[in-house]
């Protein structure tokens, strides 16, 4: 357990003296999303992953927090000065915030269906109302099913559903305590770390559009489209994600 402010987060460090690689999980799952490729990455690099407050094995937040400051706290705890970063969805947002706030510490980025804060997303009042209604009565199963319906277009499975359940358990803590970081969309031209962005064609259309726009703005960004992949890329196409991270970190 790593201290972050008044709270703590569960973290795993493969150890060793290899190149540091940090894995940041999505908001519709937790750090177990990296399980399909963890062993290979931990063998090749010093690999670190952790659960955001309230997700997976991390206790719920009891104070306001930000993704960026918690990331910095984890890196400092493990004595990591610079690192390659792979982030998915919410974790992709944090990866971009890190690369913009600490450009000398970000060696490279692999962004998997990243959330692009500041990109104008269309409002979906019916879905928002459904989330609020289920959250108000604490219906975690209903929330998990809704998460899979929106973000799991490639089909449900026990692994995907458990990831969605982890997100459902974390939503209340996230809504109450997580502070949004500074929007990144209008600053993407300032990203100096070598970047690969991966997005599936079964992801949410607005997310795909934001990712395409982001790839155009990030200098030298490589865009990889993943056929048949939704918002769970490490579950749907683990080999492609693994090979891309290995190539990016060793470039």
Residue 154 lies in a domain: no
CATH code of 184's domain: 3.40.50.1820
State the Cα angle at 203 between 198 and 53, rounded to 5°: 80
Residue 9 lies in a domain: yes
Residue 200 lies in a domain: yes
Residue 140 lies in a domain: no
Task: Print burial letters for 7-30: b (CB count within 10 Å at least 16), e (below 16).
Answer: bebbbbbbeeeeebbbbbbbbbbb
Alpha carbon separation from 86 to 20, 112, 152, 183, 244 (Å, rounded):
11, 8, 21, 19, 10
pLDDT the model gives residue 194: 98
pLDDT the model gives residue 203: 97
Residue 147 lies in a domain: no
Residue 172 lies in a domain: no
pLDDT tens profile 1-59: 999 999 999 999 999 889 999 999 999 999 999 999 999 999 999 999 999 999 999 99
The string of DSSP letters for the chain reads -EEETTEEE-EEE--SSS-EEEEE--TTS-GGGGHHHHHHHHHHSEEEEEPPTTSTTSPPPSS-B-HHHHHHHHHHHTT-SSEEEEEETHHHHHHHHHHHH-TTTEEEEEEES---TTS-PPP-HHHHHHHHHHHHTT-HHHHHHHHHHHH-TT---HHHHHHHHHHHHHHHHHHHHBPP----GGGGGG--S-EEEEEETTS-HHHHHHHHHHHHHSTTPEEEEETT--S-HHHH-HHHHHHHHHHHHH-
* Residue whose structure tokens are 């600490």: 102
Overall number of domains in the chain: 1
Residue 217 lies in a domain: yes
pLDDT tens profile 57-96: 999 999 999 999 999 999 999 999 999 999 999 999 999 9
pLDDT the model gives residue 60: 95
pLDDT tens profile 108-163: 999 999 999 999 987 787 778 888 888 778 888 999 999 999 999 999 999 999 99
Residue 101 lies in a domain: yes
The domain containing residue 78 runs over which residues? 2-124+177-250
């Amino acid at each position: 357990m790593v201290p972050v402010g008044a709270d703590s987060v569960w973290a795993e460090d493969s150890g060793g003296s290899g190149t540091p690689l940090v894995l940041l999980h999505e908001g519709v799952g937790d750090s177990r999303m990296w399980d399909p490729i963890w062993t290979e990455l931990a063998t090749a690099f010093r690999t670190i992953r952790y659960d955001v407050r309230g997700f997976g094995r991390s206790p719920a937040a009891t104070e306001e927090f930000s993704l960026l400051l918690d990331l910095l706290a984890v890196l400092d705890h493990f004595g990591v000065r610079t690192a390659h970063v792979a982030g998915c969805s919410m974790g992709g947002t944090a990866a971009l915030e890190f690369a913009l706030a600490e450009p000398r510490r970000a060696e490279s980025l692999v962004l998997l269906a990243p959330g692009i804060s500041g990109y104008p997303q269309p409002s979906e009042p019916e879905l928002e109302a459904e989330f609020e209604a289920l959250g108000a009565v604490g219906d975690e199963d209903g929330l998990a099913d809704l998460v899979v319906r929106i973000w799991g277009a490639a089909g449900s499975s026990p692994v995907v559903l458990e990831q969605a359940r982890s997100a459902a358990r974390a939503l209340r803590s996230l809504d109450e305590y997580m502070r949004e970081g500074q929007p990144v969309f209008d600053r993407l031209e300032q990203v100096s770390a070598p970047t690969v962005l991966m997005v599936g064609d079964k992801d949410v259309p607005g997310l795909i559009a934001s990712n395409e726009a982001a790839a155009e703005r990030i200098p030298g960004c490589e865009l990889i489209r993943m056929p048949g992949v939704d918002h769970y890329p490490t579950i749907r196409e683990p080999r492609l994600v693994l090979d891309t991270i290995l190539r990016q970190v060793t470039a």
